[in-house]
Amino acid sequence: MIEIKGIIPPIITPMYEDESINYNELRNQINRQIDAGVHGIFVFGTNGESYILNDEEKKEILRVTIEEVGGRVPVYAGTGVPGTKDTIRMSKMAERLGADVLSIICPYFAAASQNEIVEHYKEISNAVDLPIVIYNIPARAGTNISPSSIAELAKVDNIVGAKDSSGNFDNMLQYIELTKDEEFVVLSGNDSLILWNLLAGGVGGIAGCANIYPETLTAIYESFVKGNLKESKEYQDSLRNIRNNFKYGNPNTIVKKAVNLLGYDVGPCRKPFNRLSDEAVKSIQRTLDEDIKRGLK
């Protein structure tokens, strides 16, 4: 059984200027994250630009990731797409390649009812043997998975957890409260709520900013489990400056630009999600300079 816990970066997908995948830099980023102490590698999250990769690219990215990770940490694969049939197809691909955990986003674009969401996940769970982490991100999916739906799905054997990116702490808290009697875990998908997730009984976070500061994000969790709440809160609070830059555009565009400015050749986001103002770039650079002086890494 895979223990789902800690800080799991939704790793960025490095690209060349022509938007082809830079697999050498992907390997470099995987090792950078593992060396920093992360507890898993998650491909095809929002920060990995899953929404704009084709099936063959996803297959090769996952293959390379599993090969490079080499069993050092679990590999999570985001296999959710709007349709149940296609999600099963992508999930079976990930299962064949050797992924450890599936992360499956709520059906998106067309508004799904709670009953449709529950049946979607149940049908997928019957088609695969891997553990499934539900991904709730209403800002992108258009629908919030209700706490009562999570409570029902937590009773399904291989549905083992949920990532809540709603930004609504009460929603995440109800996920935790309503599943406490099940073998089910809850992760924060909002980097600013990782410590609060842990304090409420959650197990960590799938943290986009770990692409920028993997050691700092990991330290939130490690300080917490050692009982040093003051230190954990200091690490948590230290993320505020970089997250304030999200006002300038798409958060994963900001994250990828920041990693580039740190000196890693991860390239641009795919068009059209690749444009930032000069003001934004200067602000990100200024924030990185200030954060590094304060010891973030």
pLDDT at position 171 over 80: yes
Q: How confident is the model at residue 1 (pLDDT cuts 50, 70, 90)?
A: confident
> Could you write out the three-class secondary structure of the chain?
CCCCCEEECECCCCECCCCCECHHHHHHHHHHHHHCCCCCEEECCCCCCHHHCCHHHHHHHHHHHHHHHCCCCCEEEECCCCCHHHHHHHHHHHHHHCCCEEEEECCCCCCCCHHHHHHHHHHHHHHCCCCEEEEECHHHHCCCCCHHHHHHHCCCCCEEEEEECCCCHHHHHHHHHHCCCCCCEEEECCHHHHHHHHHHCCCEEECHHHHCCHHHHHHHHHHHHCCCHHHHHHHHHCCHHHHHHHHHCCHHHHHHHHHHHCCCCCCCCCCCCCCCCHHHHHHHHHHHHHHHHCCCC
* Predicted TM-score (pTM) above 0.85: yes
> CATH assignment of 6-237?
3.20.20.70
Give the pLDDT of residue 20.
97
**Over the stretch 58-108, which tens digit does the pLDDT of each residue have?**
999 999 999 999 999 999 999 999 999 999 999 999 999 999 999 999 999
Catalytic residues: 135, 163
Domain boundaries, the chain: 6-237
